[in-house]
Amino acid sequence: LDKARAAASWSRHFHPQKRATGVVPDEAVFEAKAGPDTVYLSAADRWGNACSFINSNYMGFGTCIVPDGCGFTLQNRGNNFIVRAGHPNCVGPRKFCYHTIIPGLVTEENTGELFCTLGVMGGFMQPQGHLQVLTALCDYGLDPQEALDQPRFCLQGVDSALGSESVEQAALLLEEGVPAEVRSELQRLGHPCVEVSSWSREVFGRGQVICRDTVSGVLCGGTEPRADGSVLAW
């Protein structure tokens, strides 16, 4: 993006003294309530341009630092650094900590054209969820909604402090719907499995997907059945 053009557009459309004018409180819209959780959204157009976006303050109000003249707090993902000399995630200069703000955008290998945008929120379930949803799309040929509807698994206890050490004795959480014979075989192989059902399934994350057919340009979306997302077209 051209910085001069962006600055000119900003000056035309953003007026600090008016930024709160006309803002409708969340609860005034269909009695919706603001929540503290991470939000994922994506958008794509007919030309194959797309945006995959995850927003999260982390730990409620983030850092509790509000930039001068702005109405939001800065995020607190620096909390995911650890203090252990020699560890890849040890705090240090010019480093980004390991964290889970990882919105996904996938392109076709041969042409570079858009294949899909995807995001599966849910803390350290995110990389696990991305892998499972993307595998369903690419390896099994499911459409976005089918890919999101599939039962998921989650290694319990993954965090940034210990990395791979955090899952050495982890339980393998299996969502209801995973066949009993699959669970039995996993247990036979040494995985301590726990079935998760009902509201507790939130541990498996919340995802959204938009896929694009590179031949026709048709867009196809899917939304998370475990949460209150939606697919909108215009």
Render each residue's pLDDT in the chain as its tens digit; 234 residues.
578 888 888 788 777 667 666 666 656 655 556 566 688 999 999 999 999 999 888 777 788 888 888 888 888 888 888 888 888 888 899 988 877 788 999 999 999 999 999 999 888 899 899 999 999 999 999 999 999 999 999 998 777 666 667 777 789 999 999 999 999 999 999 999 999 999 899 999 999 999 999 999 999 999 999 988 899 998
CA distances to 24, 26, 74, 170 from 66, rounded to whole Å, are 21, 20, 6, 38
Cα–Cα distance, 224 to 230 (Å, whole number): 8
| Residue whose C-alpha is closest to residue 142's, from 133, 151, 152 | 133
Cα–Cα distance, 134 to 76 (Å, whole number): 28
Please write the tens of the pLDDT for every residue from 140-177.
Answer: 999 999 999 999 999 987 776 666 677 777 899 999 99
Cα–Cα distance, 200 to 148 (Å, whole number): 17
- How big is the chain by its Cα radius of gyration, in Å? 20
